[in-house]
């Protein structure tokens, strides 16, 4: 077993989108009394782990992402370091530490990242049966300061989608404009005028229509688009704002 740095960890706020809702990947944390079987703790946490001895923090975050999603080379950005001395002082966290991880320091500093994934590519397995997508608008009880982490990560995401096309990381390779609009509405938690949104997107050279349509209901088919990173990189100076 590899040695951990007992006062340094990484936590990853992993966002996904299901065509309607912006979700975050959470793991249920349960602890039962070994003698009586009484349920002592039942809450949720983000995906994280202590940094290993000799490991770079960015590599630690990539390791967590690969372990929890099975994916690599996905969007990952460090956005804040959480180091308050009372991070582990809630009763549930103290009990979890005492019974499960007594070797961990009383003061753990966590380097926090947010990641954007196409949630349809994340395949749950038997090792992570308690890990699931939860709407960011309806968070359950969370351990540590993970609710604060999610709120701060969401604020960073909301600010950044107006400057860079990172929202496309949450969509499949091929998408409709309705799906793209639904994504922005979910992230921003607001309604967007359809005609105005589609007009702005139509001027973006890096959102490319394909000679392909997708049937959306019995009577209607929708144009399919792709996002081109190469075109975006070539036309950065011309990019248009999607701010509302």
CATH of the domain at 10: 3.90.79.10
Whichever domain contains 183, its CATH number is 1.10.10.10
CA distance 49 to 142: 16
Residues 106 and 92 in one domain: yes
The three-state (H, E, C) secondary structure of 26-74, written as one string: EEEEEEECCCCCCEEEEEEECEEEEEECCCCHHHHHHHHHHHHHCCCCC
Give the pLDDT score at 89. Answer: 93
Tell me the sheet residues that pair with 115: 14, 76
pLDDT at 239: 53
Same domain for 38 and 98? Answer: yes
Q: What residue numbers bound the domain in which 224 lies?
A: 166-238
- Measured between its terminal Cα atoms, the distance across the chain in Å is 51
pLDDT at 220 over 70: yes
Residue 10 or 217, more confident: 10
244 within some domain = no
**Residue 243 is assigned to a structural domain of this protein:** no
Residue 218 has pLDDT above 90, yes or no: no
| pLDDT higher than threshold 90 for residue 138 | yes
Q: Helices 177-188 and 146-160 sit at what angle, rounded to 10 degrees?
A: 130
**78 shares its domain with 8:** yes
In a shared domain, residues 24 and 86: yes
- CB burial class (10 A; 0-12, 13-18, 19+) of residue 33? exposed
State whether 154 and 48 are in the same domain: yes
Q: For residue 125, give both structure tokens.
A: 């397995």
In a domain, 33, yes or no: yes
Provide the number of structural domains found in the chain. Answer: 2
Q: Are residues 144 and 198 in the same domain?
A: no
From 128, 160, 192, the end of a domain falls on 160
Same domain? 63 vs 91: yes
Q: List pLDDT tens digits, range 41-57.
A: 999 999 999 999 999 99
Q: Are residues 116 and 21 in the same domain?
A: yes
Same domain, 80 and 176: no
Domain match, 155 and 196 both: no
**Same domain for 222 and 177:** yes
Contact by Cβ (8 Å): 225, 210: yes
Please compute the mean of the pLDDT values over residues 224-239 and round it to a whole number. 85
| Residues 173 and 64 placed together within one structural domain of the fold | no
């Amino acid at each position: 077993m590899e040695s951990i740095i007992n006062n340094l960890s990484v936590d990853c706020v992993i966002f996904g989108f299901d065509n309607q809702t912006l979700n975050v990947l959470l793991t249920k944390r349960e602890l039962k009394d070994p003698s009586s079987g009484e349920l002592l703790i039942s809450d949720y946490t983000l995906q994280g782990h202590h940094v290993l001895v000799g490991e770079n923090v960015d590599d630690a975050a990539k390791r967590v992402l690969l372990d929890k999603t099975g994916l690599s080379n996905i969007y990952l950005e460090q956005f804040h370091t959480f180091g308050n001395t009372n991070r582990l002082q809630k009763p549930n966290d103290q009990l979890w530490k005492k019974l499960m991880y007594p070797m961990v320091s009383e003061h753990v500093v966590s380097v926090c990242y947010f990641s954007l994934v196409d949630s349809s590519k994340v395949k749950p397995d038997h090792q992570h049966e308690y890990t699931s997508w939860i709407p960011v608008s309806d968070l359950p009880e969370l351990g540590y300061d993970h609710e604060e982490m999610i709120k701060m990560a969401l604020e960073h995401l909301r600010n950044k989608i107006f400057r860079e096309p990172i929202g496309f990381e949450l969509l499949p390779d091929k998408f409709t404009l309705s799906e793209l609009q639904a994504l922005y509405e979910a992230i921003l938690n607001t309604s967007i005028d359809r005609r105005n949104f589609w007009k702005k997107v139509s001027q973006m050279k890096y959102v490319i229509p394909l000679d392909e349509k997708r049937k959306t209901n019995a009577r209607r088919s929708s144009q399919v688009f792709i996002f081109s990173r190469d075109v975006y990189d070539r036309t950065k100076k011309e990019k248009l704002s999607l701010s509302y």
